Structure 1
Amino acid sequence: MKTDMPAAALAPSPTRAESAMPLATPDIEAVLREHGPMLARIAGSYESEAARRDDLLQEISLAVWKALASWRGDASLRTFLARVAHNRAIDHLAREQRARGDELHDEHADPDANPFQHAQAHQRRKDLLAAVRALPLGQRQVVVLALEGFSQREIGDTLKLEENTVTQRLSRARRQLNEWLGDAT
């Protein structure tokens, strides 16, 4: 019998038990290789001092390692990791309870920029990061994820917020950042 249906349509649909099977736990080394830069930037948005930032990144990495087995795939791995990182950073802040304003070193400087342009760009990043750190926690979280390229829906999933709440927080944060930084943003 010949049919025009694609082979995938003829395959039996998975049973309830097969579709509920847990996902294989991703390899921690591969996860940290792929998502480590994002996790480091999240840590950097909470800690300005290099040693404390490194400690926070280690805490985040350990939390990711422990949490990977519980990832069920109902959110993307990236969203899941960002949630773990933000939760760990919030715990870290609660313990530290100090505000710091040291600079964050950017390891991705443009090698083609002249020294003056490099210094200006570095200062803009430093000012933006200091301003982001000064935002209230709820606004800071949505801004950091937006800067990481998360959609508003992904931000909502990560922080367990309604998309409308994310939009409001981003709008308020942008207004505040524009007020603090002027045309530099």
Structure 2
Amino acid sequence: MTEKERESIFKEWIAQYKALLFKVVRAYAFTAEDQDDLFQEISIQVWKSIASFKGEAKVSTWLYKVSLNTALRWVKKTKSYQNNLQKIEGELLIIDKAEPTDERLDWIYDKIAQMDKIDRSLTLLLLDGFGYKEMSEIVGIKASNVGVKIHRIKNQLIKESKNYASHGI
């Protein structure tokens, strides 16, 4: 593969799947700066990995797997930083968002962020319309376990959304 071919594929994939990649970013990074850093890490990993794409899976599935694995490594690498940031975030930091946010979207991302890494990954994959088989391949668990976990996640989110709605938020 030539450098020009690699660059063309990279630009096409980033343009076509940027929203998918950013969902992973937003689920694992919580400040604008961290989101930028993680998106850059994912982009670099996609760039490095293009030559290893064999076409055995859909591009979206492969990119999701690369993104999730990169995000998990990034979280592990920056865990102590994240812990310190979360401790002081409420008191000292104000995140200035250029665009108004939808409180419901913020709520769901907050709930996703509180999940363990498998549930978080499955929730993101579900939101992007992946099937159980694809989810099992990406996350590395049996498809039947995916179904059970998705059912539990949905029930928990429904329960918590009722509390959210009843508090007038």
Q: Which TM bucket (shorter chain)?
A: 0.7 to 0.9
Structure 2 unaligned blocks of 5 or more: none
More divergent stretch after superposition (93-102 vs 159-168): 93-102
Supply the AA of the counterpart residue of 1:162.
K
Q: Count the aligned residue pairs.
A: 150
CA RMSD of aligned residues (A): 2.6
Answering whether residue 40 of structure 2 is matched by residue 66 of structure 1, we say no
1:156 alignment partner AA: S
1:138 CA displacement: 0.8
Which amino acid is the alignment partner of residue 145 of structure 2? T
Q: Which has the higher contact order (CA 8 A, sep 6+)?
A: 2
CA–CA separation in structure 1 for the residues paired with 2:98 and 2:130: 20
- Which residue matches 1:159? 139
Computing the radius of gyration over CA atoms, which structure comes out larger, 1 or 2? 1
- For 1:1-185, list aligned pairs within 5 A: 27-97=9-79, 98=82, 100=86, 122-182=102-162
CA 1:176/1:96 → structure 2, altered by over 3 Å: closer, same or farther? farther
Unaligned runs of 5+ in 1: 1-23, 108-117
Quick check: 1:140–1:173 contact (8 Å CA) kept in 2?
Answer: no
Contact kept, 8 Å, 2:118 with 2:139, in 1: the verdict is no
Question: Given residue 123 of structure 1, which amino acid in structure 2 is its aligned partner?
Answer: E
Task: Give TM-score scaled by structure 2 length.
Answer: 0.78
CA deviation after TM superposition for structure 1 residue 180, in Å: 2.6
Q: Are the structure 2 counterparts of residues 103 and 130 from structure 1 closer, same or farther at C-alpha, using a change threshold of 3 Å?
A: farther
Over 3 Å counting, the alpha-carbon distance change for 1:151 and 1:59 in structure 2 is: same
Whether the aligned pair in 1 keeps the contact of 2:38 and 2:71 (CA below 8 Å) is yes
**Aligned residues of 1:60 and 1:84 also touching (Cα < 8 A):** yes
Shift of residue 161, structure 1, vs aligned partner: 2.3
Cα distance in 1, alignment partners of residues 43 and 35 from structure 2: 12
